[in-house]
Amino acid sequence: MVEAAVKTYIDAASEQDPEKRAAMLEACFAADGRVVSRSREIRGRAAVDDEIAKLLADPLLVRVRVLSVIDTGNTTFRFRSVVERGDGKNFEFFDAGEVDATGRISLLLTFAGPLREAADA
């Protein structure tokens, strides 16, 4: 259930057809779900769809690619991804979240950029 929701969300992030993308998000993302980053919160499925549409409208976007396995627990998940651009500026992300009792993502925490190594590592 968790992995299916995350895979559908990832696929939705690359779906150009607005109707197909909306149906995919309805299947995998809670109506009042949240995406939280360092700088803001996106609340609600419709707002998430709007943000994906903005990403896909970027003429420099090449693709969104998953860099890791989708690691899941009973209700939790995490994965790494990258937004690849035609100008060579790629943006890496670490996402972790939770799926609700209906099998939809209710919370997605997203962190931009790779973590730096610890000073004593």
Q: Examine residue 120 and state whether it is found in any structural domain, yes or no.
A: no
Domain that includes residue 69, residue range: 2-112
Task: State how far the Cα of 99 lies from the Cα of 106, in Å rounded to an integer.
Answer: 5
46-82 pLDDT, tens digit each: 999 999 999 999 999 999 999 999 999 999 999 999 9
Counting the structural domains of the chain, the total is 1
Q: What's the pLDDT score for residue 92?
A: 95
Is 38 a member of any domain?
yes
Q: What is the CATH number of the domain that holds 98?
A: 3.10.450.50
Q: Let me know if residue 119 belongs to a domain.
A: no
pLDDT tens-digit readout, 80-120: 999 999 999 999 999 999 999 999 999 999 999 988 888 87
pLDDT of residue 96: 98
Using a 10 angstrom Cβ sphere, with 0-12 exposed, 13-18 middle and 19 or more buried, the burial of residue 118 is exposed
